[in-house]
Every structure is written in structure tokens, then in C-alpha cells.
């Protein structure tokens, strides 16, 4: 029995079964890695604001020449942005940094809200 190439979400959207992650991708390397992954056939890119490389991820998407509509792009909301008044701005920042008009999936990075207790804690967590 062949392995599935996609899974169907409850919205009917098709998410590729295998994605390319961008966590801990080194500055100056992630753009090329994303470009190469897309040219090699990956169609799911996983990124997050906390990785601090969304602009490079977006540049890699652009440089790949693969139409945005052919890519399933997952972004993540960081723990300090779970307050309802912070979510839209966080999403807008990710969209701007990635240079795209939409994400296919926007997840809470961890389903735990982190209340900023101090500047030191803030610097550690964000």
C-alpha cells in the first residue's frame, strides 16, 4: 500500500504529507535551502516568527520560481502573542516578512500562553 502524499484537513484543504522545516536554519543559508527544497519537489514549507528567518524563507520561495499557489505554507504564532489583540498584528508581521498575501495554515506554536513577567524573561522567550 503506497504512503499518502497529502492529507485532507477538516476544511478540505490538502496538506502535503512531507514538509520542509526551517527551524535552526542558519542566517544566510535558509534562503538557498528553501529555494533548493522547492526546486527538488517539496511543496510544504514550515516556518515560524520565533525562528527569526521568515524574510529569508520568503526570499527562497520567490527565488524558487514555484508559484505561491503551488506551495502549502505553514506559519506559527509565538507564545507571547496569544492575546486576542496581538494575533492579527503577529500574522500581519509574518505575512510581511515572508512577502506573501496568505498562509495556508497558522498554528499556535505551543498551546501555552506565556505572560511576560519581566524584561529578562521576555528576552529569553522571544
Domain annotation covers residue 97: yes
Catalytically active residues, by annotation: 51
Residues lower than pLDDT 70 in the chain: 113-126
Residue 52 falls within a domain, yes or no? yes
Query: How many other C-beta atoms can be found within 10 angstroms of the C-beta atom of residue 43?
Result: 19
The span from the CA of 45 to the CA of 16, in Å, is: 10
Asked if residue 1 is part of any domain, the answer here is no
Reported as a single tens digit per residue, the pLDDT across 90-99 is 999 999 999 9
Give the rounded distance of the alpha carbon of 39 from its chain centre.
18
Domain of 111 in residue numbering reads as: 6-125
Residue 81 lies in a domain: yes
Q: How far is CA 112 from CA 31, 59, 82, 119, 126, in A?
A: 30, 30, 8, 19, 14
| CATH number assigned to the domain comprising residue 28 | 3.20.20.100
Q: Whole-prediction pTM value?
A: 0.86
So what's the pLDDT on residue 123? 58
**Number of domains the chain contains:** 1
**Residue 69 CB burial class (10 angstroms; 0-12, 13-18, ≥19):** exposed
Cα(108)–Cα(40) distance, integer angstroms: 29
Q: Which residue in 39, 99, 97 sits closest to 70, CA to CA?
A: 39
Amino acid at each position: 500500500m503506497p504512503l499518502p502524499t497529502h492529507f485532507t484537513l477538516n476544511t478540505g484543504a490538502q496538506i502535503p504529507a512531507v514538509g520542509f522545516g526551517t527551524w535552526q536554519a542558519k542566517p544566510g543559508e535558509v534562503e538557498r535551502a528553501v529555494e533548493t527544497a522547492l526546486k527538488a519537489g517539496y511543496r510544504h514549507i514550515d516556518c515560524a516568527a520565533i525562528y527569526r528567518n521568515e524574510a529569508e524563507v520568503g526570499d527562497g520561495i520567490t527565488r524558487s520560481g514555484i508559484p505561491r499557489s503551488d506551495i502549502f505554507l505553514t506559519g506559527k504564532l509565538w507564545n507571547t502573542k496569544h492575546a486576542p489583540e496581538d494575533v492579527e498584528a503577529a500574522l500581519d508581521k509574518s505575512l510581511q516578512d515572508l512577502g506573501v498575501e496568505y498562509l495556508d495554515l497558522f498554528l499556535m506554536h505551543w498551546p501555552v500562553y506565556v505572560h511576560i513577567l519581566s524584561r529578562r524573561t521576555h528576552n529569553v522567550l522571544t
